[in-house]
A and B are shown apart, each in its own frame.
Chain A
Amino acid sequence: MMLIAGILGVAVTMLLILVRVLAGPTTYDRILGINLFGTKTVLLIALVAFITDRTDYLDLALTYALINFIGTIAVLKFMQYGDLGWAGDVEDDTDV
């Protein structure tokens, strides 16, 4: 029962985030929304794993978190440099 409530909450949040992603206005708003959407997906997978009693799904949640992070960074890098291969200039590397 409580897991259903959790899933409902997460699903409603995802809907709200999707509205923001569609509304924009800047590209960065959309990226922020998609990043948060990914985190919510991780929670959703974890909750579904407990509802269906198949806790192996947690591995998927972990993998999803990984891919979500790398995806966000990749999109940001692409936005900044227009290229995924370029490592940036030296000055950029010293910046934390």
Chain B
Amino acid sequence: MRHLVALMSGLVLLWLILSGHYTPLVLALGGLSCVLVAWLCARLGLVSREAVPIALLPRLPLYTVWLLFQIARANMSVTWRLLAPRRFIKPGLVEVGLGQRSDLGRAIFANSVTLTPGTVTIGLENGRAMIHSLTPLADDDVTEGVMNRRVRWLESRHARAEP
């Protein structure tokens, strides 16, 4: 029930942002389409803990800020390396064990690693991630487990509810 309410409010918010026309008829049609989409999602079994991860929401803003800061830092170092002579680039593969308990946590970790320039997840199986990095230094946060720990912090409430 909580998931349905969350999905519904998300849809309504999305509709309000994208529409921009707030006359009674259009509003009614928008509400109708939101209900229709929610109904279709329910029929597809998409109104669940996994598909509407509301347990992440309280910690998501702080994680996003941290990730944006990380992205800014990585951008600066990679930008410099793109222009610097070739010897400053030492691509390498690192294998990192995943500490996340939920599939969603693992996906968030892989996406965060890929999102930061300088590191890309190129494989994810058996609880281990294969990460390609532009320089051995660029993956400090990944190999030393800072990002791993942050994502575990983010998903902790979500993973606790795991059946």
A95 in contact (CB, < 8 A): yes
* Mask of B17-40 contacts with A, CB within 8 angstroms, 1/0: 010000000000000000000000
CA of A27 to CA of B86, assembled, Å: 24
Chain B residues with CB under 8 Å of A87's CB are none
B106 at the interface (CB under 8 A from A): yes
- Say yes or no for A96: interface residue by CB 8 A criterion: yes
Tell yes or no: A83 within 8 A of B by CB.
no
Total residue contacts A-B, CB cutoff 8 A: 9
Shortest CB distance A1–B (Å) = 24
B144 on the interface (CB 8 Å rule)? no
Contact A96 B103 (CB under 8 A): yes
A59 at the interface (CB under 8 A from B): yes
A50 smallest CB distance to B (angstroms): 16
Question: For residue A95, which residues in chain B have a CB less than 8 angstroms away from its CB?
Answer: 124-125
A96 touches B18 (CB 8 A): no
Contacts of A96 in B (CB 8 A): 103, 106-107, 110, 124
Task: Point out the residues of chain B lying under 8 angstroms from A62, CB to CB.
Answer: 18
Give chain A nearest CB distance to B54 CB in angstroms. 20
Which of A59, A62, A95, A96 counts the most chain B CB atoms within 10 A?
Answer: A96
Nearest CB in chain B to that of A55: its residue: B20
Say yes or no: B107 contacts A59, CB within 8 Å. no
Q: Which of B89-140 contact A (CB under 8 A)?
A: 103, 106-107, 110, 124-125
Q: What is the bound-complex CA distance between A96 and B103, given in angstroms?
A: 7
Residues on B lying within 8 angstroms of A by beta carbon are 18, 103, 106-107, 110, 124-125
Residues of A within 8 A of B (CB): 59, 62, 95-96
Since A62-B18, A96-B106, A96-B110 are in contact, a sample of 5 more A-B pairs with Cβ atoms closer than 8 Å, ordered by chain A residue number, is A59-B18, A95-B124, A95-B125, A96-B103, A96-B124
